Copies of this chain bind each other. A is one copy, B any other.
Amino acid sequence: MIKKEVDVSAPVHELITGRWSGVSYDPQQMVKDDDLRAMAEAARWAPSCFGDQPWRIIFCSKAGDPEAWQKAFACLAEGNQPWCQHAPVLAIICADSRFSKNDKDNAWGEYDTGAAALSVCLQAGALGLMTHQMAGFSPEDAREAFNVPDRYQPKAMMTIGFQCAQTDIPEEFRQRELAPRQRNPLSENFFLNGWGKGF
């Protein structure tokens, strides 16, 4: 995966800074089920409120089950399909709206599921894989295509695969793929000892 610069005011572990959401997948290189299992294990050990583990993730592998992959692909927004078509794995990430233990509303279902999804991305990075999460899909279509039970909310889809060689990036994605990464200044989102107080 192409290494991109990040501006940081203190050193951060490279597993974290090395992750970014590219769009140029190598259509030839499939992802092994064992690698998907490692990503699932990474998410499995994420923290959650009362240890409830509200996440549910469906991994759809183009090599393993082209029909399932196609069903997932059809849920994507039109704007995402042109680059997602080359991703060997599409995942659907769902959040439980209730606690499994007592069926009461779980106000941390999405919060915890977001953490589990990031664990997938980071473990993917450790395996040399690239991920990209998307809100651009139809939760209704995903629910119908995969018979997702009512209590679970499809919150995001994710592409997983190997990035193609830099020389093979399609012209239409080249600028986007090579653009520098950007974030708010640290002081806009992170405070020390009081709301709005900088480090």
Contacts and interface: CB of A to CB of B under 8 A. Distances in A.
Interface of A: 6, 8-13, 15-17, 19, 21, 33-38, 40-47, 49-51, 53, 55-61, 64-65, 68-69, 95, 107-108, 110-115, 117-119, 121-123, 126, 133, 135, 146-149, 155-156, 181-184, 186, 188-195, 199
Query: How many copies, total?
Result: 2
4 cross-chain pairs, A with B, having the tightest CB-CB distances, nearest first: A114-B114, A111-B114, A40-B190, A65-B193
A161 to B, nearest CB: 16
A111 B146 contact: no
Contact of A147 (B50, B121, B195): B195
B47 A122 contact: no
17 contacts: A6-B45, A8-B45, A13-B126, A17-B42, A40-B190, A40-B199, A45-B181, A51-B182, A51-B183, A56-B195, A58-B191, A58-B194, A107-B135, A108-B156, A111-B111, A115-B115, A118-B118
Instruction: Give the interface centre of A38, A148, A181, A189 by most chain B CB atoms within 10 Å.
Output: A189
B40 A13 contact: no
A74 to B, nearest CB: 15
Contact of A111 (B56, B95, B107): B95
Given A114-B111, A155-B111, A38 B57 contact: no
A133 B60 contact: no
Contacts of A119: 16, 118
Instruction: Give the interface centre of A33, A42, A188, A193 by most chain B CB atoms within 10 Å.
Output: A193
A95 B117 CA distance: 17
